[in-house]
């Protein structure tokens, strides 16, 4: 069922903290190393647990669905801590310090085959786990795997500015959603064999959403990334990077759709089938690693 809504809640949430404090925190984390830096996450998460009632309510609502019981305060704290750990780890991953982590890859042959063919692909993810480990996997390969990110640039500008200071190439790898030439840029990079990463569980304006059953109730997912994949006729690959605690990640690649020589005769049926598969697999991974879900707003609204 399609629906048209106003701007989604996450686009208007105010960011917390100043750019200076975020940059200072990133510098301190890199100086200390991941093990020592992670100790500072505990007081930070306690602060947010006490000062962010909306995020806490959203966490409690989600955890009740996924755990099948009333979540405790410790559950909510663990949810925040998992999110904070993934954000912290991005600083190290962007700084090419992958040796700090134990990254276990599943389905790497999918990436290898597409890389050898040189066709590029649409790499679909979600605000779940750590998408940055996909690029870390690419950098660990015998040749760099070019990954460009299609994302909403206006949100989390402070965090992106801080991470760009760590890795100046980040800005050139980002394709802004909503630009008039976005689809052209995506097509050009696919021609060069890029993997185009997009988080397909949110959009900017709340338009062109489709509701699917998700964790017991209908939830809205944007049609845009899948419509783009249909137009560009490239393979569609699901990628999730599950944080397992400590320095351990499990990265999973799954093919959602193969490359096609022509656009499907029934485009709507093709898009619907791929979206249903995406939602089903996202629910599967939510159940496997419940605290990796990072949509801290009413996702089912």
Residue 140 and residue 98 in contact, taking contact as beta carbons nearer than 8 Å: yes
Residue 147 located in a structural domain: yes
Domain range for 276 is 2-292
What is the helix (H) or strand (E) element at residue 238, kind and residue range?
A: strand 236-245
Residue 261 located in a structural domain: yes
Per-residue pLDDT at 155 = 52
Residue closest to 8 by CA, chosen among 158, 171, 127, 142: 127
Residue 301 located in a structural domain: no
End-to-end CA distance of the chain: 15
Residues with Cβ within 8 Å of 159's Cβ and at least 6 positions away in sequence, in order, are 15, 22, 87
Per-residue pLDDT at 79 = 98
Q: Burial level of 86, CB count in 10 A (0-12/13-18/19+)? A: buried
Residue 298 located in a structural domain: no
Residue 299 located in a structural domain: no
Q: Kindly give the confidence (pLDDT) of every residue in the chain, 301 residues in length, as a single tens digit, with 9 standing for 90 and above.
A: 554 444 455 444 554 555 566 667 777 777 888 888 899 999 999 999 999 999 999 999 999 999 999 999 999 999 999 999 998 998 888 877 888 899 999 998 998 899 888 889 999 999 999 988 877 776 665 556 778 888 776 654 555 566 566 666 655 577 777 667 788 888 899 988 889 999 999 876 667 899 999 999 999 999 999 998 999 889 999 999 999 999 999 999 999 998 877 788 899 999 999 999 999 999 999 999 999 999 999 999 8
Residues in the chain: 301
Residue 281 located in a structural domain: yes
The structural domain count of the chain equals 1
Residue closest to 154 by CA, chosen among 130, 176, 183, 175: 176
Per-residue pLDDT at 203 = 78
Residue 236 located in a structural domain: yes
Task: Quickly count: other Cβ atoms within 10 Å of residue 251's Cβ.
Answer: 22
C-alpha distances in Å from residue 173, one per residue of 27, 75, 81, 291 = 22, 35, 28, 28
Per-residue pLDDT at 134 = 76
**What string of DSSP letters covers 97-108?**
-GGGSEEEEESH
Residue 297 located in a structural domain: no
Residue 243 and residue 82 in contact, taking contact as beta carbons nearer than 8 Å: yes
């Amino acid at each position: 069922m399609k629906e048209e809504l106003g701007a989604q809640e996450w686009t208007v949430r105010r960011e917390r903290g100043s750019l200076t404090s975020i940059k200072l925190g990133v510098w301190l984390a890199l100086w200390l190393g991941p093990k020592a830096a992670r100790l500072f996450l505990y007081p930070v998460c306690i602060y947010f647990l006490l000062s962010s009632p909306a995020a806490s309510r959203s966490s409690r609502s989600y955890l009740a669905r996924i755990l099948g019981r009333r979540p405790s305060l410790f559950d909510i704290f663990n949810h925040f801590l998992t999110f904070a750990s993934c954000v912290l780890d991005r600083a190290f991953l962007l700084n090419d310090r992958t040796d700090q982590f134990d990254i276990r890859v599943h389905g790497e042959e999918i990436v290898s085959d597409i890389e050898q063919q040189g066709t590029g692909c649409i790499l679909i993810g979600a605000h779940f786990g750590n998408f940055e480990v996909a690029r870390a996997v690419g950098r660990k390969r015998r040749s760099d795997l070019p990954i460009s990110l299609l994302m909403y640039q206006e949100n989390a500008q402070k965090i992106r500015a801080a991470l760009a200071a760590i890795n100046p190439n980040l800005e050139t790898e980002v394709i802004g959603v909503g630009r008039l030439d976005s689809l052209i840029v995506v097509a050009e990079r696919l021609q060069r064999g890029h993997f185009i990463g997009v988080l397909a569980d949110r959009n900017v304006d709340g338009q062109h959403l489709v509701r699917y059953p998700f964790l017991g109730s209908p939830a809205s997912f944007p049609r845009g990334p899948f419509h783009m994949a249909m137009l560009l006729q490239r393979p569609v690959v699901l990628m999730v990077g599950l944080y397992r605690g400590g320095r351990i990640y499990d990265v999973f690649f799954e093919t959602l759709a193969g490359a096609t020589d022509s656009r499907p005769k029934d485009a709507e049926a093709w898009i619907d089938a791929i979206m249903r598969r995406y939602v089903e697999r996202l629910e599967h991974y939510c159940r496997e690693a419940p605290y990796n879900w990072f949509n801290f707003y009413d996702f089912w609204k």
